[in-house]
Amino acid sequence: MQADTIFPVGTYGYQQVDLDFLNERAAQFRDQVARRLSGDLSEDEFKPLRLMNGLYLQLHAYMLRVAIPYGVLSAAQLRRLARIARIYDRGYGHFTTRQNIQFNWIKLEGAPDILAELAEVGMHAIQTSGNCIRNITSDEFAGAAADELLDPRVHAEILRQWSTLHPEFSFLPRKFKFAISGSPHDRVAARFHDIGLIAKPGADGAVGFEVFAGGGLGRTPAIGMKLREWLPEHELLAYMEAILRVYNAYGRRDNLYKARIKILAQALGRDAFAEKVEAEFAAIPKERYRLGPEIVEAIRARFGQPHFDAPDDAPARLSDDRRRDHGFDLWVRTNSHPHRAAGYISVVISLKPNGGIPGDASAMQMDAIADLAERFSSGEIRVTHLQNLVLGHVRQDELYTLWQALGPLGLATPNRGLITDIVCCPGLDYCALANARSIPISQRISERFADVELQQQIGSLRINISGCINACGHHHNADIGILGVDKKGEEFFQLTFGGRGEEDAAIGQIIGTALPESEAVNVISRVIDTYLARRVQNERFRDTYRRLGATFFKEAAYAVN
């Protein structure tokens, strides 16, 4: 990428110094790999260094996780990911629940070349693993959604920069995840992150943040505690420093499974935890850590803005197209989101084809999406935490043409937010931590409910699948959560129901024993049948579940005939 030219839409345009920094970083990693290959570094010493660059050793190969800050990619960046998939991997990549992409078949010797290729387009794998501040995730409809109060991506970029190679917080007790939203409709699961921020406007154009800390999923799911109703923008970094310092000093280091900030926050209790944070915050020299409006504006100025030029009749033409083509209408109904600008719309490109692997995209698909993004959506692509892609700024009168182009690519599945829009971790097919394969059961469910009309009839419903207790598939906060467990060497699946990730965050409950794959799919079918039989009018699954209760569903679904 050429620096200091036209800025990419929706993401930060790197300056030459930023690109130099990535090159320095890539060179550092090339050194480290050379020291590992020559034996100067032991695997134990190399491990934290490779993890700081997103390189994991998995079951069959190295896996490289590339950061996609706040989930936004330019077309050039997506093409580069396609190239990496083609040259260094097996022709595909896997988009993750943290808006990153993973390449699963990497050779250690090739990893430095990949980082150098990424640096050329302003990308990296810094802090995509290890006990440090990870990729800052954000709303996939940021800067586009009609309901948004504030585009959170400028502050996500500020947090990304601030947390990059942070001297004090690169060896925390455990990993640390931020999410930031600018909409009152929380699409980032802010309450399920180590720190969750809701950006909002105040009086006189002021910007502030609602601050949650201590949320998380994994072994001990916890809903974040609200530390501040309103944190002024200029104190954002000082306050984040305060939370991280308390965590770094007092977080547990004796037990990997009790090392996240949520455990510290719960052990202290909300008030004592908040008191420690506020005491540290009070002691911090505010001027040194001040985030002045001039810094915010300088960073904002390097974000490209979409140019809106839809004709007045764009909505009418979209309506005509929908009337003419039922398949298109179905897709628009589920896979679009209202845009703030007249005549525009955001669309979700489902990476959940019938029977496919959730979140996977081939190099060919990535290249094609990059082309379509340039043609239809200001060259901007977003990755969602539900493992789909979004084109944020599409003219309504061009949507039909876009949809026609997506179909032959296998990218027009009309299932966003429906039962086959499954979130799924890589599971035992790849992951060294997994207890069970999560991909096959997601494929079985996808096949079972493949009928589009049936999916529409079932309506809004989220299934999340994790192959182990670490919960990368976020099974706790789905309507139906599936957790892979190991029972004496056999793969079993524990179901949870009633989880929610948004403003009304809730952790799913277990209502029956773990089951083998086919039985688990049957139980889900019976739960859905029960819901369809008992729902009142257009009641959503989650509401019916809440109304009838866990016991009712347990009896209906787990009843042995």
Partner 1 sequence: MPLIECGRIVSDPWQQLGDDAALPSGPCILSLSRLQQDEAVQNASHLGLGVALPVDQPAEVLAPYLERLALVAVNFPTFRDGRGFTQARSLREHLAFSGEIRATGNILPDQYAFLLRCGITTVEIKDGADPAAWQNEADRFSFTYQPSVLKEPVLSGLRRTIRFGVPRNTYSQLIGK
- Sites of contact with partner 1 (CB under 8 A): 15, 17, 20-21, 24-25, 28, 31-32, 45, 48-49, 131, 158, 161-172, 237, 245, 248-249, 253, 283-285, 288-289, 295, 298-299
Rounded to whole angstroms, the Cα distance separating 15 from 152 reads 21
Q: How far apart are CA 3 and CA 473, in angstroms?
A: 36
**Strand positions, DSSP E, 166-257:** 178-181, 195-201, 207-213, 225-232
Q: Give the amino acid at 368.
A: A
Q: In the complex, what is the shortest distance from the CB of residue 477 to partner 1, in angstroms, rounded to a whole number?
A: 30
Quote the CA–CA distance of 479 and 121 in Å, as a whole number.
Answer: 38
By beta-carbon proximity to partner 1, the closer residue of 52 and 361 is: 52
Nearer to partner 1, 170 or 220 (CB): 170
- Whichever of 161 and 509 has its CB closer to partner 1, that residue is 161
CA angle 96, 432, 34 (to 5 degrees): 90
Q: How far is the CB of 205 from partner 1 (least distance, A)?
A: 21
Select 267 or 342, whichever has its Cβ closest to partner 1. 267
Q: Work out the angle at residue 319's Cα, subtended by the Cα atoms of residues 314 and 325, and round it to the nearest 5 degrees.
A: 125
- What is the Cα 268 distance to its own chain's centre? 29
Give the helix/strand (H/E) hosting 352: none
Angle among Cα 22, 72, 88 to the nearest 5 degrees reads: 55
- Nearer to partner 1 by Cβ, of 290 and 547: the residue is 290
Beta carbon of residue 166, minimum distance to partner 1 (angstroms, whole number): 6
The owner of tokens 């502050």 is: 155
| Closest CB to partner 1 among residues 242, 419 | 242
Tokens 């690519």: give the residue: 409
Quick one: 288 or 488, whose CB is closer to partner 1? 288
- Provide, rounded to whole angstroms, the least separation between the CB of residue 24 and partner 1: 6
162 or 558: CB nearest partner 1: 162
Which residue's structure tokens are 């996977």? Answer: 360
Distance from C-alpha of 157 to C-alpha of 343, rounded to nearest angstrom: 29
**Minimal distance in Å, beta carbon 114 to partner 1?**
20
Q: How far is the CB of 269 from partner 1 (least distance, A)?
A: 20
Minimum CB separation of residue 93 from partner 1 in Å reads 27
Residue with tokens 């060259």: 379
CB of 298 to partner 1, least distance (A): 5
Cβ proximity to partner 1: between 236 and 373 the closer is 236
Measure Cα distances from 296 to 156, 299, 301, 381 in Å: 11, 5, 9, 23
In a 13 Å sphere around the CA of 387, the CA atoms on its Cβ side amount to: 30
Q: What angle do CA 404, 409, 414 make, to 5 degrees?
A: 65
Measured from the CB of residue 11, what is the shortest distance to partner 1 in angstroms? 15
